[in-house]
Amino acid sequence: MSYSESSLAPAAKPPGTEQFPPFDLARLMKTVFKPRPGERVAVLIDLDDPHGMKDYGFLRDPKLTIQGHAYRDFYLALKDRVLGELGLRGGEMFAFEKTGGSNLDLPDLCVDAAGRELSLEKDIYPNYQLILCISTYSATAPLTAFAKKYGFRGATLHGVNPIILASGLSVNYEEISRTAEKMRLGMTRADWVEIDLSHAGKDYTLHLDLLPQEAQKSHGLCQGGPDIANLPAGEIYFVPTGAYGQFPHRYEDGTIGLMTVEGGAIVRADLLAGDAAVVAAHNTKLRDDPMTGTLGELGFGTQVLPVSGRDIQDEKILGTFHVATGRSDHLGGTLVPSMFKTKANATHDDILFAPAKTPEIQNREVRLHKNGQTHVIIRGYEPTEFILNLRNAA
């Protein structure tokens, strides 16, 4: 695998992305940030050993595809054209050690291309106004906190692959933001949401209480004060105030467990299909640190996108929905890392329900109750007329 300057030549578009314009970093940054001339840009990646950043040594490992995209589609693009076109400075690339989990706090040590050890808090955050983090695991929660502390803006783009580049990162985020706002206005101040799911012919319902709160949107624009955009964007989300019921959950290995929810948290998992040891390990974790089962998010996709195989894009597809366990401080919730037994447990883990991700789990309905009326908003992983009318409103 080569990541030379010649690799900036356009690649063939992946199937299903033909209707999207080619990925253009300058266009993406202009839309997302509206950057001001003279602002400095940095690119962050994660590596098992951040010293692999020296002389871009990580490029010798063809398995590091995410980091390869960070180098080719972001770092080289910045140096080749984007900095000059947008009047920006910098463009340097730095590596930090992989955290091992979604939204875990970031280590402070980072390494530059010369092999120098630096501090993210002393050398990077205070000295760059725009930070692009292209990593294996999501860094949205910790970078949101650092952005507010040090005053920078940025984007987290974990799991980047060719489909995401050719679709979710090639859309017009001004349009995505307008659509998300129309959906948000129609869903905000809902009292509750109920999700009906089935597995192997058995039905289950999860009830999530939402009041009192305004619905929020992940819409891809970060044009004002310090903040982080999680890209691809396109989502309406709530931080549940309570929850109860049951729902089937597909673990990474394909095992299906039944989650029992009480008092806003998963309290027990039971085996429905697959490896009993996977479910037993989950129960051990729940007993050892009950905060890991807390439901910290309910989200709904707003975009029409191809399936990418990465949750970061696939949870933004219209008709999909997800709940998440763990920290919620970056979403305006109250669950912070100090509330967990160990820092390693303070993740934010999305549980996505979508035909390609959870084929064993069927969706019957998703209902939203607001202003004394109950609306079916999703049926069989398809948006209902209620949602389509919101999207098409003037």
Alpha-carbon distance of 33 to 278, in angstroms, equals 42
Residue 251: CB partners within 8 Å, gap ≥ 6? 257, 274, 278, 279, 282
For residues 120-124, average pLDDT = 98
> In the structure encoding, which two tokens stand for residue 338, read together?
């100090």
Q: Can you give the pLDDT at residue 10?
A: 55
DSSP state of 123: I
When pLDDT is averaged across residues 111-116 and rounded to a whole number, the result is 98
Angle (CA) 57-76-158 rounded to 5° is 75
Query: In the prediction, which pLDDT does 394 show?
Result: 79
For residue 204, list its beta bridge partners.
Answer: 197
- pLDDT tens profile 190-248: 999 999 999 999 999 999 999 889 999 999 999 999 999 999 999 999 999 999 999 99
pLDDT tens digits, one per residue of 282-331:
999 999 999 999 999 999 999 999 999 999 999 999 999 999 999 999 99
pTM for the full model? 0.94
Predicted local confidence at residue 4, as pLDDT? 41
The more confident residue out of 6 and 307 is 307
H or E segment and range at residue 222: none
Share of the chain above pLDDT 70, in %: 97
Instruction: Kindly report the average pLDDT of the chain as a whole number.
Output: 95
Residue type at position 375: H
Alpha-carbon torsion, ordered 93, 95, 96, 101, to 10 deg: 100
Per-residue model confidence (pLDDT) at position 1 = 34
**CA dist 322 → 118, 122, 315, 327 (Å):** 37, 36, 7, 15
* Alpha helices (H) along 270-366: 276-288, 311-314
Whether 177 and 219 have beta carbons less than 8 Å apart is answered as yes
Q: Would you say 248 and 258 are in contact if contact means Cβ atoms under 8 Å apart?
A: yes
pLDDT score recorded for residue 7:
45
Calculate mean pLDDT across residues 69-83: 98
pLDDT value at residue 11: 64
State the pLDDT confidence band at 3, using cuts at 50, 70 and 90.
very low
Q: How confident is the model at residue 12 (pLDDT cuts 50, 70, 90)?
A: confident
The token duo for 158 is: 């974990």
User: In Å, how far from its chain's centre is CA 68?
Assistant: 20
Residue 55 has pLDDT above 70, yes or no: yes
The share of the chain scoring above pLDDT 90, in percent, equals 94
Alpha-helix residue ranges (DSSP H) falling in the chain: 25-33, 65-69, 76-77, 83-86, 140-150, 162-166, 173-187, 276-288, 311-314, 385-392
Average pLDDT over residues 122-136: 98
